Amino acid sequence: MRFKHLLIAISASSFAPSAFAQASGPGGSPGSDTIDVGTVTVTAIGTTKNVRKIGYAVSQVQGKGLVSSGESGVIQALTGKASNVQITRSTGDPGSGAYIQIRGQNTITGSNQPLIVVDGIPVSNSSLGGGVDGVVQQSRLNDLNPSDIESVEVLKGAAAAAVWGTRAANGVIVITTKKGKRGMSIEFSSTYAIDQVNREYEKQGTFGQGAGGRWVANNANSWGDRIALRSGSDSINAAGARFVADDGTVYGTIVRKGDRTVYNDKNREQVFRNGITWNNNLSISSGNDKSNMFFSLSDWNQQGIMKGLSDYRRTTARLNFTQNINDKLTVGLNASMAKIISNRVQMGSNLDGLYLGYLRTAPDFDNSDHKGTYYSAAGVPKFNAHRGYRRYLGDAAPTYNNPGWTLNEQTNTSDVSRFILTPEVTYKWRENQKLIARLGHDMSTDRRITYFPVNSAANQANGAFTDDNIQESESSLHFINQGNHKLSSDINLNTTFGYLYTYKNFYNIGGTASQFIIRDQDRFAFINSTTENKDPFNSFSELINNRVYGILDFDIKDKIFLQLTGASEASSTYADRFFSPSASLAYELTKDVKPSNLLSYAKLRLSAGRVGVAPPAYIWNTNYVAAGSSSGWGDYLDGSLYGGSIYRSSTQGNPDIKPEMKTETEIGADLKFFKNKLSLGFTYYQNKIEGAVLAIAVANSTGYANQWKNAADLSNKGFEVDMNLSLIKSDNFNLNLYGNLGTNRNMVDNLNGAAPIFLAGFTGTSSRAVEGHAMGALWGGKFAKDENGKMILDADGFPTASAEEGVIGDPNPSWRGSVGLNGNYKNLNFNLLVETCQGNQMWAGTYGVLNNFGVTPETATEFTVSAADAANIVDYRGVTLATAAAAGANGLASVNADGSITARGSLKDFGSGNVWLNQYWYTSLGGGFGSVAEQFIKDASWTRIRELSLSYALPKSWSDAVHIPGGISVGFTGRNLALWTKFEGLDPETNLTGVSNGRGLDYFNNPGTKSYLFNIKFNL
């Protein structure tokens, strides 16, 4: 009987509106006869509070909502579920990290990621690594098993989070894990999921590898001949060098290219597959008057969509236990562990990366058989040879990896162990006073191996190996005393005083070895390099922070709720104590104005607070560092190879550094209409961040490149709406419409004269902080224009580049929102969530560069002009169509029987008549390697079906028949089923530099995914 009730409770709540975010309303959502979880919310320090009494905005997401999203990671699962909480996954790699942004950016070079508090203690959500190349790393918050989570509260504003002082400027995400419930239940669920690539680049299939309209072996470009005009098969020099693949296929020296096959589809098959995930989850909950216990085991085992070493396996265990020893004393322990083993795929601006080699491959080149043996014409073999379109015989390492090599021969593993322990003692030392003592220890280790076998592309050609061990930990000690005082018959006061001490440390040790001695055996060992080719590294940092805080909660006539907080903290990274005050007021209007049929509930909110961002460690002094110089193209000189040289750093320290100070005010209302059928929450906020800490770029002629300063002021303002509407409500059929909308305007108000600050990207295109623009502004080269904004053209009629760079785009959306429908019909529950992000721009670096290579369909169009026109229309070299056609390269231009000329490319009029856009334009100013990045800034707005889920509780007679007394339910979730965007070739929900402050960059990022999940759940 007990089990039956439980099942009904679960199935009724799994897709109830309260499973999704709502503004701080009274929680009595339309379906409030289900579990009314909304009435209680969790505060920044992990205690609970009635939402009625809260004077600031908080979004609550129920654990069920996280699980039904089908995401492996908690962060990704939050997407679309709360207003002004922007989640951007780095890529579609399994287990990839994601970026969280709550109400805009609050610092320039510090972290913009919110503080994560799990069961009352701060835990790590680091995402270490994330440059323009390498692999995409995980976010540590995703180590949590989403099924263990009871609820997530997103505290967005300064007032909500002020007790966390200098850690709270980016908001706080408070996660509460599940507790055992009265009685006993066992739940087992199993999910099978299929992932697919959700968006791909189109490639042309008309012109072959080469340049100038002719086929050229090993050429980077696809500006070659017309494939259809070839003879039909390659002429091979039988006496020449050859490549024999591992399966025996022989590739000989091509004398004349004749093969007419286009391999685009076959090459695609080599790279993609259906990603398969098995997720099994077991949980046991039990409880009685004295104690409760929640235990879980889970295993998420995912193979990525990239056909090779791309996977993510996370195994977790958790035990949450609470024991009431007597009326006064309660002890508890929350303990969790996770083991994550993952294979990553090299990506980005990286000659050993997947998409770079795959997308650049010429359409007439077959990428099969990436590995084999090369035999010279004399028959001398070279083993483990690597064959790619830049070295089709594998005689030496190709300039770019064959994607098969990237996916199957290179190793990039990550092996994570994570432990979070939270013992807690609560002692009621008086009737109205209780003391909570909580210890927390969060620790993770991550061993990352990066291995490039001999013959990997470019500068890994002689092999390279890195073993990197990262250890992070944070220990905390937290005392909280809560008291209750009845000041008068109308006024009640709750007091909270706390002391919190945290110690964080980070340790990293590892080494690299290159130029392998034994070249044909893969060993992750340093012995395989000579001494000068081994390079050990380590780094260490620690941080101490302690704070005292007080919270006064006044409850006046049960309709006015005033909260005052103050926190004072000291930290090892700045000299003076930092004080964070806040005040918030909630007024329940409907206590004074009688609720009507129209307005059933109204609460007004007003709050203000001050929080901060602590400066980073070790910036007080100017350091002396190991000397070395590099040109920016990879070539460099290392002082340690020249007897060792230690000289002054180019970054100037600053002993007077202070925390950044963020002040925020917020006003809002929670309203319910039509007998609670429609609930609406509104919030408007504005904040100002003063003295943002950053290493500002200074004129290099000062002898420094950067100087640490409290240099910048930023501001954000925005508006948030959360909505829920009950459309149909009956015993068998419930239907709700829900949604949210958020806008944020960020502005870098003042850089105090500092130059635009590079956040991430390349020399040519970067994401920067620029005074007068939103954070992350895209920066790069522009076309030269006159004072009227007209393009300045060269003598041939082509545009010219402006000598100076500037802001060329904004990666920040003007608004984001989501709308959904959920409900149930009898035993069938359903949810549909559509999300949109509008007004954000992105640098289409991949597309621009694929134009350079002549791979995009845009570059392979053809046109015909008369002989007369052909004599006048020129290309970027200044060569006329007529002259080019006379050269006789059929892939460039050719003369037709009637004297007209057909050419590859297109005609364009930039303002002084038609010019011919062909190889010479795209490989110079008109392509992605040219100096004008402006032309590749594209609208990256998107709208998508984020989630469609259905679940069905099988009839009880069926489950009884198989002796599953609690019932069986089956479910389906589709994730990312449809995507509408103008951005070409890639799901724009991505970022090359991962979880960094630089946004809106795409350069051979690994692609995004869509998923289909099938779930079955047994309640025993």
Q: Is 121 helix (H, G, I), strand (E, B) or coil?
A: strand
Applying CB under 8 A, the span of 146-154, 615-623, 709-717, 1004-1012 interacting with another protein comes to 615-623
Residue 924 near another protein by CB under 8 A: yes
CB of 650 to another protein, least distance (A): 4
**Binding-site member from 202, 542, 862, 960 for another protein (CB under 8 A):** 542
Q: How many residues bind another protein (CB under 8 A)?
A: 92
Residue 803 near another protein by CB under 8 A: yes
Between CA 938 and CA 920 the distance in angstroms is: 23
Binding track over 128-157 against another protein, x by CB under 8 A: ------------------------------
Between CA 831 and CA 951 the distance in angstroms is: 9
Residue 471 near another protein by CB under 8 A: no
Residue 579 near another protein by CB under 8 A: no
Residue 807 near another protein by CB under 8 A: no
* Residue nearer to another protein on the CB measure, 322 or 824: 322
Residue spans of alpha helices (H) in 378-429: 403-408
Cα 975 to chain center, whole Å?
Answer: 16
* Residue nearer to another protein on the CB measure, 700 or 866: 700
* Residue nearer to another protein on the CB measure, 425 or 741: 425
Between CA 30 and CA 51 the distance in angstroms is: 16
Residue 838 near another protein by CB under 8 A: no
**Binding-site member from 186, 194, 604, 801 for another protein (CB under 8 A):** 801
Show the CA angle centred on residue 941, arms to residues 936 and 945, nearest 5°: 135
Please list, in sequence order, all residues whose beta carbon lies within 8 angstroms of the beta carbon of residue 1018, skipping any fewer than 6 positions away: 187, 188, 189, 964, 966, 967, 968
Q: Fill in the DSSP letter of residue 616.
A: P
Q: How many residues does the chain have?
A: 1020
CB-based contact 750:710 (threshold 8 Å): no
Residue 1020 near another protein by CB under 8 A: no
Residue 629 near another protein by CB under 8 A: yes
Mark residue 634 as left, alpha or beta (left: phi above 0; alpha: psi -120 to 50; beta: remaining).
left
* Residue nearer to another protein on the CB measure, 196 or 931: 931
Residues 439-458 that bind another protein (CB under 8 A): 458
Q: Helix count (H) and strand count (E) of the chain?
A: 12, 56
* Residue nearer to another protein on the CB measure, 767 or 923: 923
CB of 801 to another protein, least distance (A): 5
Binding track over 757-776 against another protein, x by CB under 8 A: ------xx------------
Q: How many CB atoms lie within 10 A of CB 701?
A: 6
CB of 196 to another protein, least distance (A): 33
Of the candidates 700, 707, 843, 837, which has an alpha carbon nearest to the alpha carbon of residue 768? 843
**Binding-site member from 188, 497, 618, 815 for another protein (CB under 8 A):** 618
Q: How many CB atoms lie within 10 A of CB 2?
A: 12
Applying CB under 8 A, the span of 17-25, 628-636, 824-832, 904-912 interacting with another protein comes to 628-636
Between CA 876 and CA 854 the distance in angstroms is: 15
CB-based contact 805:781 (threshold 8 Å): yes
Residue 533 near another protein by CB under 8 A: yes
Residue 427 near another protein by CB under 8 A: yes
Between CA 412 and CA 123 the distance in angstroms is: 26
Residue 805 near another protein by CB under 8 A: yes
Residue 430 near another protein by CB under 8 A: no
Applying CB under 8 A, the span of 10-18, 232-240, 646-654, 901-909 interacting with another protein comes to 646-654
Instruction: Report the Cα–Cα distance between both ends of the chain, in Å, rounded.
Output: 12
Applying CB under 8 A, the span of 136-144, 225-233, 795-803, 945-953 interacting with another protein comes to 795-803
Residues 662-701 that bind another protein (CB under 8 A): 697-701
Q: Is 178 helix (H, G, I), strand (E, B) or coil?
A: coil
Residue 544 near another protein by CB under 8 A: yes
Binding track over 206-225 against another protein, x by CB under 8 A: --------------x-----
Of the candidates 197, 346, 368, which has an alpha carbon nearest to the alpha carbon of residue 272? 197
**Binding-site member from 399, 473, 750, 943 for another protein (CB under 8 A):** 399
Residue 635 near another protein by CB under 8 A: yes
Q: Fill in the DSSP letter of residue 158.
A: H
Show the CA angle centred on residue 754, arms to residues 751 and 755, nearest 5°: 115
**Binding-site member from 802, 861, 906, 943 for another protein (CB under 8 A):** 802
Between CA 565 and CA 555 the distance in angstroms is: 15
Between CA 217 and CA 526 the distance in angstroms is: 37
Maximum distance among all Cα pairs of the chain, rounded to whole angstroms: 104
Residues 705-744 that bind another protein (CB under 8 A): 705
CB of 625 to another protein, least distance (A): 6
CB of 616 to another protein, least distance (A): 9
CB of 308 to another protein, least distance (A): 25
Residues 511-530 that bind another protein (CB under 8 A): 514-515
- DSSP letters, 719-763, are EEEEEEEEEEE-SSEEEEEEEEEEEEEEEEEE-TTPPPEEEEE-S
Residue 570 near another protein by CB under 8 A: yes
Between CA 844 and CA 988 the distance in angstroms is: 9
Q: How many CB atoms lie within 10 A of CB 792?
A: 13
CB-based contact 314:299 (threshold 8 Å): yes
**Binding-site member from 631, 730, 788, 957 for another protein (CB under 8 A):** 631
Residues 839-858 that bind another protein (CB under 8 A): 852
**Binding-site member from 383, 579, 647, 958 for another protein (CB under 8 A):** 647
User: How far apart, in Å, are the Cα atoms of 675 and each of 31, 602, 725, 763?
Assistant: 12, 12, 11, 59
Applying CB under 8 A, the span of 104-112, 402-410, 635-643, 989-997 interacting with another protein comes to 635-643
Applying CB under 8 A, the span of 25-33, 539-547, 666-674, 989-997 interacting with another protein comes to 539-547
**Binding-site member from 238, 643, 730, 786 for another protein (CB under 8 A):** 643
**Binding-site member from 543, 667, 680, 867 for another protein (CB under 8 A):** 543
**Binding-site member from 702, 864, 866, 872 for another protein (CB under 8 A):** 702
Residue 546 near another protein by CB under 8 A: yes
* Residue nearer to another protein on the CB measure, 248 or 632: 632
CB-based contact 848:855 (threshold 8 Å): no
**Binding-site member from 5, 485, 486, 648 for another protein (CB under 8 A):** 648
CB of 535 to another protein, least distance (A): 9
CB of 798 to another protein, least distance (A): 10
Residue 323 near another protein by CB under 8 A: no
CB of 649 to another protein, least distance (A): 7
Please list, in sequence order, all residues whose beta carbon lies within 8 angstroms of the beta carbon of residue 466, skipping any fewer than 6 positions away: 448, 449, 450, 451, 510, 511, 512, 513
**Binding-site member from 380, 598, 633, 897 for another protein (CB under 8 A):** 633
Residue 980 near another protein by CB under 8 A: no
Please list, in sequence order, all residues whose beta carbon lies within 8 angstroms of the beta carbon of residue 488, skipping any fewer than 6 positions away: none
* Residue nearer to another protein on the CB measure, 31 or 213: 213
Q: How many CB atoms lie within 10 A of CB 150?
A: 17
Residue 254 near another protein by CB under 8 A: no
